[in-house]
Amino acid sequence: MTENHLHIIAFDVPYPANYGGVIDVFYRVKALTEAGVKVHLHCFEYGRGEQEVLKRCYEVKYYKRDTSFVKQLSLTPFIVNSRRSEALVQDLLKDDYPILCEGLHTTAVLLDKRLKNRKIYVRAHNVEHDYYKGLGDSEKFGWKKFFYLVEAWKLRRYEPILHKAAGIFAISQQDADYFSKKYGKVTLVPGFNSADSVCSETGRGEYVLYHGNLSVKENETAAKWLIENVFAELDLHCIVAGLDPSDKLAKLAEKHSNVTLMPNPDDAEMIDLLRQAQVNIMVTNQPTGLKLKLLNALYNGRFCLVNSDMVKGTSLENLCVVADESEQMISEIKRLMEEDFTEDDIEERDAQMRQLYDNESNARKIVEAISFSS
């Protein structure tokens, strides 16, 4: 029997699987390995270190990401230019196996003439120039705003590199439509996640939870907006949890006696927070890609209250309560706090999630789309 070998180039070390992008990468690697694919994992390392659990892959290699200022002095987007690696190219040249690039971030290999005859696929996590423009628009002034808006321009200019890809794996229907219209060769493969089935608890919880990587401006902005416009108007315990919250966010939370900030919960603590909450609330102003925090909440939590942009293009609207105005969110939270989450709710959610977000079937889509023969 022929072995299927696949190089996967990750933009970061995908463990711990504790923020959106690496959750998708880690559980895809796991699902592909369980499907019999010999995964050669290549990780750009810039702070997370080497991880023992990744040795389950057929092979794992690490490369330092060069985030020096000089890498910004190029028309190539910084997220791409900072991940150029001659050592990576040399490792890829040792065989003829297909390559899967995680995000535009790792597609510098598409620019390398030495790899022009290789089958190189791209997992599109977002329409990146839209995502970075959104980051820029959320900044009020200063260097960060300038960086994000320039990066958005560079990414829009760079994106046609996808014409060179053998195929694109889009994470949402909305993104699939976008990439298909421009480049063709698109397969819709929804986000991979930690759950095989819905593990929500019945009954009622006692608090409202917002969670996310709080070091990301989009999530910090959402947390601040919720504290000031929703949580402040509730006589309920509200928790904000996630990675590396800023001092500004901590000080804002301290001003409200009903708001608790929980920095850097580990995986087990995060799952417990999701399961014990009565309402998991999630908002975004970026209707791109798929918000993996939404999957996490649907698999583990009770009621999910979201704004329209959070579920756009996901086919998950009917599993959530959708509200866009703060007054409507406040009203829905008060209503949901009085309702039991039932076995029927769990069964309905589980059936739909299995149709769209089953790791095993989504890994099979990738295996079927990739040309493994030389």
Rounded-to-integer distance, Cα 152 and Cα 34, Å: 37
Domain locations along the chain? 5-194+358-369, 207-356
Q: What is the pLDDT of residue 290?
A: 63
Give the per-residue SS3 of 271-303: HHHHHHCCEEEECCCCCCCCCHHHHHHHHHCCE
pTM: predicted TM-score of the whole model, two decimal places:
0.85
Tokens found for residue 292: 């993996």
- Percent of the chain scoring above 70 in pLDDT: 98
Q: What is the pLDDT of residue 306?
A: 97
Q: What is the pLDDT of residues 182-223, one digit of tens each?
A: 999 999 998 898 877 899 999 999 999 999 889 888 899 999
Residue 293: pLDDT over 90: no
CB contact at 8 A, 81 and 71: yes
- Average confidence (pLDDT) over 276-300: 86
Q: What is the pLDDT of residue 292?
A: 79
Q: What is the pLDDT of residue 314?
A: 78
Looking at per-residue confidence, does 92 or 142 come out higher? 92
CB contact at 8 A, 144 and 162: no
Tell me which residue of 174, 200, 211 sits closest to 294, measured CA to CA: 211
Looking at per-residue confidence, does 17 or 250 come out higher? 250
- Average confidence (pLDDT) over 17-26: 86
Supply the mean pLDDT for the chain.
93
Rounded-to-integer distance, Cα 73 and Cα 64, Å: 19
Residue carrying structure tokens 């709080």: 214
Residue 368: pLDDT over 60: yes
Q: What is the pLDDT of residue 140?
A: 81
Q: What is the pLDDT of residues 95-114, one digit of tens each?
A: 999 999 999 999 999 999 99
Longest pairwise C-alpha distance within the chain: 64
Residue 1: pLDDT over 80: no
Rounded-to-integer distance, Cα 171 and Cα 190, Å: 5
**3-state SS class at 47:** coil
Q: What is the pLDDT of residues 49-97, one digit of tens each?
A: 999 999 999 999 999 999 999 999 999 999 999 999 999 999 999 999 9
The superfamily CATH assigns to domain 5-194+358-369 is: Glycogen Phosphorylase B; (3.40.50.2000)
Rounded-to-integer distance, Cα 52 and Cα 76, Å: 33
Q: What is the pLDDT of residue 342?
A: 97
11-25, 123-137, 150-164, range with greatest mean pLDDT:
150-164
Query: What residues does 212 pair with on adjacent strands?
Result: 242
**Assigned CATH class of 207-356:** alpha beta
Q: What is the pLDDT of residue 355?
A: 85
Q: What is the DSSP-derived secondary structure letter of residue 126?
A: S
Rounded-to-integer distance, Cα 311 and Cα 319, Å: 10
Residue 131: pLDDT over 60: yes
pLDDT band at 288 (very low <50, low <70, confident <90, very high): low
Q: What is the pLDDT of residue 289?
A: 60
Q: What is the pLDDT of residues 27-42, one digit of tens each?
A: 999 999 999 999 999 9
Q: Do domains 5-194+358-369 and 207-356 have the same CATH topology?
A: yes
